[in-house]
């Protein structure tokens, strides 16, 4: 099963497992993880699922679409080179991805 290690802005670390096909956002929300709000439920309409992906994990992820790219320009915490919207990061079985959540999503 896919695993995600979430590190908060204050350094709290949570390692959570999900099912193949889950997104990084879905795994967080299902487990009540603070730091990912996901107001729109994954329909690319809110930008409150912003995460910073560990550099070495970026290449193995689903490529960024045009709309995600545009939405990342409207995040509360400024976009970085490793920013993604976690609702778009669907995971295959057996991957382990590391992400950092921003200090604020809204
Ligand atoms: S949950 Fe709204 S854009 Fe990702």
- Report the CATH number that the domain containing residue 37 is assigned in CATH: 3.10.20.30
Confidence bin at 7 (pLDDT 50/70/90): very high
Distance 36 CA to ligand 1 centre (A): 9
Confidence bin at 6 (pLDDT 50/70/90): very high
Domain total of the chain:
1
Distance 25 CA to ligand 1 centre (A): 8
Check residue 41 and give its pLDDT. 97
Find the domain containing 28 and state its range. Answer: 3-100
Q: Is residue 33 included in any domain, yes or no?
A: yes
Q: Is residue 60 included in any domain, yes or no?
A: yes
Interval 22-37 mean pLDDT: 97
Check residue 44 and give its pLDDT. 96
Q: Is residue 106 included in any domain, yes or no?
A: no
Q: Is residue 40 included in any domain, yes or no?
A: yes
pLDDT tens figures, 39-55: 999 999 999 999 999 99
Q: Is residue 92 included in any domain, yes or no?
A: yes
The residues lining ligand 1, judged by C-beta closer than 6 Å to any ligand atom, are 25, 38-40, 42, 44-49, 85, 87
Sheet arrangement for strand 96-100: 13-17, 3-7, 96-100, 50-53, 83-85
Quick check: 2 and 90 in contact, CB under 8 A? no
Q: Is residue 105 included in any domain, yes or no?
A: no
> Could you tell me what percent of the chain has a pLDDT over 90?
99
């Amino acid at each position: 099963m896919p695993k995600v290690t979430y590190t908060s802005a204050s350094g709290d670390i949570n390692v959570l497992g999900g099912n193949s096909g889950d997104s990084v956002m879905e795994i967080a929300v299902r487990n009540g993880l603070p730091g990912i709000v996901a107001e729109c439920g994954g329909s690319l309409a809110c930008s409150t699922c912003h995460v910073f992906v560990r550099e070495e994990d970026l290449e193995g992820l689903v490529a960024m679409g045009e709309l995600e790219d545009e939405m990342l320009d409207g995040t509360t915490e400024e976009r970085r080179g490793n920013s993604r919207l976690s609702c778009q990061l669907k995971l295959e079985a057996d991957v382990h991805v590391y992400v950092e959540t921003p200090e604020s999503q809204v």
